[in-house]
């Protein structure tokens, strides 16, 4: 399937990626092998480092590790309307003229190793059509979800069964019997790791951005940019020239006597790479060297009862971008760090430019209507002084459900039997009663909703119900796509004249829309959010996707003294995986006494 774009963009953009292969120790001398079926010839090498290119493959070899064949790919997908989105798996891909270029460093420039790298440049063809490319595999592993992985044979149609979406397969006849009935995840003590020393600099989405961790098969991914979990595509306007450095990251292979030693060694190497960032040897202007960067310092002040809360993430995003939301700003670089116990922060190695100062706070909703601008110059330390984070609140709290942390992890996540286990079974504890900490990663956990509520939709009673046990983590439809609603019952001693405020913080949503009703479940909605959300985090085993906030005014005329019921109906049912994951819900009364607001708010 070919994706078309508007004409006139033949030179609209430039994207570069740097792959670096550098392993320490004595190198084994041997000639690089050819990729099967290719008459490849070495184009460029340095000592034992050899770069080989053919029509469909490139190979990097250092005498210990080499990779070729169609088992991995580099892909940039042009969409109509000049957007760069994520991966596209259709068709076989070939390199075009001058797409790949090899380069080497001088001895010692890479911390003792001479380095061989390859960069890729991609533009739309002269016909305005997409070109897609394959390169050696990009791999990543996380310590939090350690599993023995199935082989490629295990995930074939003869040994596994397809589930509701293409990335998920249940292992029905795995060679390793311990994987029987698992959904995705050879015993050899070899580790393959992607080490991204400063991934927040070049990955869009901020410090809590997640990527694919549940793909089927023995492949590990390093996603440089994609629209998974709600990150927007990269927009390009007209004949805009755009460039961004993604990486470098290190493909690290190690060998040890046991798995723990593999992990400890990889973590030590990751710490070494992080301490070496930014690298002085990267030969591209899009990647700023250490002396070309600056530093930003400051202190975060949180008011009232929040001042001793969790550490705060502080970050910088491009001030020249028309998009101020850091989750949606995808074209520039971002720079993040956490505060210390006193609220102080330092952002190191920032590219020169003008930025907006951003924050990611746990514990309360932050008023971010006014963002401070920061200018960074090479070699300078810029102090922004004290940054006061004020809670977003109009009136005293009537009730609240959940914790404002951009995640639904605190809610009820039921345990599942072994037949649908795709998470780390040793990760016990966490949300809900008897739930696993990573229970949301179990394929089909959403089906537990209909088991818990077979006939009637759930009712949450303020003052009696416990959101860790009584609030199902995802607002989903029934299997026949019948929409469902949440009812929240609460009492008011008296109705205060004025507008009440309902705040809905949404941790993730996919093809959803919420209708709000009060004391009349079948009446016309008092508010409709309209359609929102395309992160598909539920199906992709995530506990959060793209964040949304709604502030909804409700007239006091709709309330009554005594018992009240608020109804939230998710009205979209076109997709099996239409859902809403709430982060935090709060009802605020009209403000009567301003002096008491901060003490009662959250």
514-540 per-position pLDDT tens digit: 999 999 999 999 999 999 999 999 988
Asked whether residue 66 is domain-assigned, the answer is: no
Please name the residue that has the structure tokens 């209507």: 369
Rounded to whole angstroms, the Cα distance separating 547 from 327 reads 8
> What percent of the chain has a predicted confidence (pLDDT) above 90?
37
Most confident of 106-110, 193-197, 417-421: 193-197
Q: Which domain-ending residue is among 276, 302, 329?
A: 276
Same domain, 512 and 383: no
Which residues fall within 8 angstroms of residue 529, CB to CB, at 6 or more apart?
504, 513, 514, 515, 516, 550
Asked whether residue 143 is domain-assigned, the answer is: yes
Asked whether residue 593 is domain-assigned, the answer is: no
Same domain, 269 and 300: no
- The CATH number of whichever domain residue 346 belongs to comes to 2.60.40.1120
**What is the model's pLDDT at position 602?**
43
Same domain, 220 and 114: yes
The percent of the chain in helix, strand and coil, each rounded to the nearest 5, is: 10, 30, 60
Please name the residue that has the structure tokens 């941790």: 507
73-82, 155-164, 207-216, 331-340: range with lowest mean pLDDT: 73-82
Asked whether residue 196 is domain-assigned, the answer is: yes
Asked whether residue 371 is domain-assigned, the answer is: yes
**What is the model's pLDDT at position 148?**
64
Between these two residues, 61 and 290, which has the higher pLDDT value? Answer: 290
**What is the model's pLDDT at position 46?**
41
Same domain, 405 and 383: no
Same domain, 244 and 349: no
Same domain, 314 and 402: no
**What is the model's pLDDT at position 83?**
42
| CA distances from residue 481 to 162, 450, 477, 576 in whole angstroms, order as listed | 21, 12, 5, 7
536: phi then psi, degrees, rounded to nearest 5: 50, 30
- Token digits for 559? 């309330």
pLDDT in tens, 157-211: 778 888 776 667 788 888 777 777 777 534 456 777 888 888 778 888 888 887 7
Same domain, 119 and 231: yes
Asked whether residue 58 is domain-assigned, the answer is: no
pLDDT exceeds cutoff 50 at 37: no
Strand pairing category for 353-360 and 234-235:
unpaired
pLDDT in tens, 259-301: 788 889 999 999 999 999 999 888 778 889 999 999 999 999 9
Number of domains in the chain: 3
Q: What is the mean pLDDT of residues 313-330?
A: 88
Between these two residues, 487 and 573, which has the higher pLDDT value? Answer: 487
Same domain, 361 and 510: no
**What is the model's pLDDT at position 593?**
67
pLDDT exceeds cutoff 70 at 436: no
Average pLDDT of every residue of the chain: 75
pLDDT in tens, 536-581: 999 888 899 999 999 999 999 999 999 999 999 999 998 888 999 9
Q: What is the mean pLDDT of residues 373-391?
A: 94
224-228, 344-348, 531-535: range with lowest mean pLDDT: 224-228
**What is the model's pLDDT at position 357?**
94
Rounded to whole angstroms, the Cα distance separating 379 from 287 reads 16
Asked whether residue 216 is domain-assigned, the answer is: yes
**What is the model's pLDDT at position 93?**
30
Containing domain of residue 545, as a range?
Answer: 397-420+438-588
Return the H-helix or E-strand segment holding 468.
helix 467-470
Same domain, 222 and 318: no
Asked whether residue 39 is domain-assigned, the answer is: no
Same domain, 163 and 228: yes
Same domain, 252 and 371: no
Same domain, 374 and 401: no
Rounded to whole angstroms, the Cα distance separating 95 from 103 reads 17
**What is the model's pLDDT at position 217?**
53
- The CATH number of whichever domain residue 412 belongs to comes to 2.60.120.260
**What is the model's pLDDT at position 68?**
45
Q: Which long-range contacts (CB under 8 A, 24 or more apart) does 271-277 make?
A: 273/195, 273/197, 274/197, 274/198, 276/111, 276/197, 277/197, 277/198, 277/349
pLDDT exceeds cutoff 60 at 110: no
**What is the model's pLDDT at position 394?**
92
pLDDT exceeds cutoff 50 at 453: yes
Which ranges in 246-400 belong to alpha helices (H)?
259-275
Between these two residues, 263 and 110, which has the higher pLDDT value? Answer: 263
The reported pTM is: 0.78
């Amino acid at each position: 399937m070919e994706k078309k774009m508007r004409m006139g963009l033949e030179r609209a953009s430039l994207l570069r990626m740097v792959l670096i292969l550098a392993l320490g120790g004595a190198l084994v001398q041997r000639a690089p092998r050819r990729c099967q079926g290719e008459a490849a010839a070495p184009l460029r090498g340095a000592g034992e480092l050899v770069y080989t290119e053919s029509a469909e493959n490139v190979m990097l070899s250092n005498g210990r590790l080499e990779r070729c064949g169609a088992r991995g790919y580099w892909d940039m997908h042009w969409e109509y309307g000049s957007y760069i989105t994520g991966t596209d798996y259709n068709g076989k891909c070939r390199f075009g003229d001058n797409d790949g270029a090899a380069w080497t460093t001088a001895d010692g420039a890479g911390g003792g190793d001479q380095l061989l790298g390859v960069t890729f440049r991609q533009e739309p063809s002269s016909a305005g059509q997409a070109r897609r490319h394959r390169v050696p595999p990009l791999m990543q592993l996380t310590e939090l979800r350690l599993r023995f992985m199935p082989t490629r044979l295990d995930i074939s149609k003869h040994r596994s069964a397809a589930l509701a979406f293409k990335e998920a397969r249940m292992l029905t006849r795995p060679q390793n019997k311990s994987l029987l009935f698992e959904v995705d995840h050879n015993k050899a003590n070899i580790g393959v790791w992607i080490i991204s020393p400063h991934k927040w600099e070049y990955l869009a989405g901020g410090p809590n951005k997640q990527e694919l961790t549940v793909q089927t098969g023995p492949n590990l991914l390093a996603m440089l940019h994609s629209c998974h979990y709600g990150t927007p595509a990269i927009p390009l306007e007209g004949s805009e020239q755009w460039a961004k450095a993604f990486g470098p990251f290190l493909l690290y292979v190690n060998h040890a006597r046991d798995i723990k030693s593999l992990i400890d060694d990889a973590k030590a190497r990751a710490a070494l790479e992080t301490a070496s960032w930014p690298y002085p040897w990267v030969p591209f202007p899009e990647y700023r060297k250490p002396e070309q960067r600056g530093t930003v310092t400051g202190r975060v002040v949180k008011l009232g009862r929040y001042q001793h809360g969790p550490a705060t993430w502080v970050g910088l995003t491009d001030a020249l971008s028309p998009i101020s939301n850091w989750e949606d700003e995808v074209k520039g670089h971002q720079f993040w760090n956490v505060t210390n116990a006193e609220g102080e922060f330092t952002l190191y190695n920032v590219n020169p430019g003008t930025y907006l100062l951003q924050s990611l706070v746990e514990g309360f909703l932050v008023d971010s209507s006014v963002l401070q601008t920061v200018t960074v110059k090479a070699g300078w330390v810029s102090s922004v002084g004290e940054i006061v984070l004020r809670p977003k609140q109009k009136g005293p709290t009537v009730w609240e459900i959940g914790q404002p942390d951009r995640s639904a992890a605190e809610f009820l996540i039921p345990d599942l039997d072994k037949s649908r286990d795709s998470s780390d079974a040793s990760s016990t504890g966490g949300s809900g009663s008897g739930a696993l900490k990573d229970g949301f990663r179990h394929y089909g956990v959403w089906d537990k909703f209909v088991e818990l509520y077979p006939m009637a939709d759930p009712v949450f009673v303020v003052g009696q119900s416990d959101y860790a046990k009584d609030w199902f983590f995802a607002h989903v439809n029934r299997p026949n796509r019948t929409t469902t609603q949440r009812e929240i019952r609460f009492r008011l001693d008296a109705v205060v004249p004025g507008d009440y405020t309902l705040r809905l913080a949404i941790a993730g949503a996919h093809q959803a829309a919420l209708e709000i009703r009060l004391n009349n479940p079948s009446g016309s909605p008092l508010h409709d959010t309209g359609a929102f959300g395309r992160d598909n985090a539920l199906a992709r085993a995530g506990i959060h996707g793209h964040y949304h906030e709604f502030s909804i005014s409700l007239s006091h005329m709709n309330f009554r003294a005594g018992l009240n019921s608020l109804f939230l109906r998710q009205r979209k049912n076109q997709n099996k995986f239409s859902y809403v994951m709430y982060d935090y819900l709060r009802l605020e009364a009209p403000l009567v006494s301003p002096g008491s607001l901060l003490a009662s708010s959250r």
